[in-house]
Amino acid sequence: MAHASFDGLRVLSLESRRAKEVEKLIRTYGGEPFVVPAMREVKLESNRQALDFADRLLKGEIDVVLFLTGVGVRAMLEIVETKYDREIFLKALRATKIVTRGPKPEAALRELKVKSLASAPEPSTWHEVLATMDRAFGEELKSLRVAVQEYGASNPELLAELTERSAEVIKVPVYQWALPYDLQPLRETVQGIAKTGIDVVLFTTAVQVIHLMMVAQEMNCVPDLMRGLRSIAVISVGPTTSAELLHYGITPDFEPSRPKLGFLVNEAAQYAAKVLEQKRARAATLGLELLAEEMPLEQNSPDGAVTKAVPPRHGVRRVEQSTPTMAGFRDGLNSFEFLHEISSRIAAADPLHTVLDRIVEFVTMVIPCDSCFIYVLENDKLVLRASRNPHSDLVDRLDLQMGQGITGWVAEHREPVAIASKASDDPRFIPFKNVPEDTFEAMLCTPILCASKVVGVINLQHRLSYRHSEVEVRLLSTVGFLVGAEIERARLETEIVQLSDRLETRKAVDRAKGVLQREMSLSESDAYRLMQRESRQRRKSMREIAEAILLSDDLKKQKN
């Protein structure tokens, strides 16, 4: 396949948070970037709802918390900390059932040592969120009180469905979206689209569509904007954004194979020129008047509201999985950028899971795949410690012996394995229960090394047949060399923390046993068994029981 390139096309992005990143990507792929932020994140005028949620959570009145964004996780914690103790709130959160909308809130919660029960898969629309909750709770959902962390604006469809399915739904807004302070760049953008001064437009969120239409309405330019959009390549990041475009009568030309910024820009560079050529040829043949009849434009109603067109009959095309040049090293990063990117992701000296999540994010950005597992060697076993797909039941639980399966073979022989199709037919393959990736066709597996010692394995998998190029195999092997030392450092630090925690627990338990022996005239073994019984009955750890005994003893001494 040809090298992905915009070949000088004028590419518009309405991205706000990652404006510099998307501008660099467009330029990297040979486009002329026009990045005009269409929204800004603002704090709520009142944090009452978030603080009320925290109060109810601490009182045990919330059964499930649904987190929709990683930014929302952090924003919620900042709000809660203005009134409540951070650790007390996190402890209550850890004792609550957690569901997340995709990997970003999952990663944010993992940094806080909060584990989720389930995570919605891509494309992570409200449909996937709802299906995930149905699978996780079934009929039990009817009796549960669900708190929903909102982002920017409410999702009425999700809230309506959850209200019908559960005992109570509590909205927890933590921030909202507003138009930029300076609207002149957006006004110029509307005029640029209307006059076909743009060739490609990339939409990464439904709010961008809404704000663009709001500015066009203020300018009385909605029909002109709509005509302009129909004569340029319109690319949507995923179903939610596409639905908003369809609501206005604009059919996106396609969605990327994965709803990610890197994939969006790469695949736009591959296909936008052809799409644009076809659309403009069709417009020249049919005439803009006929196009207007095919897809009715919006009109301003007497009350000033925008009347939205009926969505077209045809769905949005989506790029096939595993495009050979998808967001790849060959098309996106030169050698220097590659080294800088991977080193910057592991230089923060973060905990093990955070390091691994960053490696997964980077690997899946530069090499096309449908799944990415990272196994870490611990006590002669390969333990699954990170996954691109949500696997809360497998991460930190699934382990392999050295030499077991293809992953174990790679660790034992310290060399990569690339299988283009029928991976399950390989004699080294061993299936595992409840691992959907075992049905995938292709696989690329490389060892992670530190000072010639194996510390783990990176495992990429594909639903469809896929022949990895020599560059991709070498690239993944290079990643394995680069990240090995950082993974080993993070693993050892995690071990040290765990050992320290066990030591502190042992000290607390020994002191608590002494208190029980003194106060209740018990033998050491009887005191220990009493604490064990309390731990089981109250569903508390031995350390929590010990600390409660010690606190009670301290209070008694102070009273005396």
Span 177-201, pLDDT tens digits: 888 888 999 999 999 999 889 999 9
Is 384 within 8 Å of 375 (Cβ atoms)?
Answer: yes
Rounded average pLDDT over 86-93: 94
Classify domain 42-178 by CATH number.
3.40.50.10090
Is 70 within 8 Å of 105 (Cβ atoms)?
Answer: yes
Mean of pLDDT over the chain:
82
Confidence of residue 258 (pLDDT cuts 50, 70, 90): confident
pLDDT tens digits for range 269-316:
999 999 998 887 776 666 544 444 444 434 333 333 333 433 443 456
Integer CA distances (angstroms), 88 to 78, 349, 393, in order: 14, 26, 26
The answer to whether domain 10-39+180-307 and domain 333-495 are alike in fold is: no
Backbone angles phi, psi at 256, to 5 degrees: -70, 165
C-alpha to C-alpha distance for 103 and 6, rounded to whole angstroms: 30
Global confidence as pTM = 0.55
CATH fold label, 10-39+180-307:
Rossmann fold (3.40.50)
SS3 letters across 172-203: EEEEEEECCCCCHHHHHHHHHHHCCCCCEEEE
C-alpha to C-alpha distance for 372 and 480, rounded to whole angstroms: 13
Domain ranges of the chain: 10-39+180-307, 42-178, 333-495
Is 388 within 8 Å of 371 (Cβ atoms)?
Answer: yes
What is the per-residue DSSP string for 535-553?
HHHHT--HHHHHHHHHHHH
Lateral strand order in the sheet of 145-152: 40-42, 168-178, 145-152, 64-67, 97-100, 118-119
Superfamily the domain 333-495 falls into: GAF domain (3.30.450.40)
C-alpha to C-alpha distance for 531 and 550, rounded to whole angstroms: 12
pLDDT tens digits for range 534-557:
888 888 888 889 989 998 888 888
Beta-carbon-side half-sphere exposure of residue 530 (alpha carbons within 13 Å): 18
Integer CA distances (angstroms), 421 to 69, 172, 324, 389, 467, in order: 36, 46, 15, 21, 8
Helix (H, G, I), strand (E, B) or coil at 333: coil
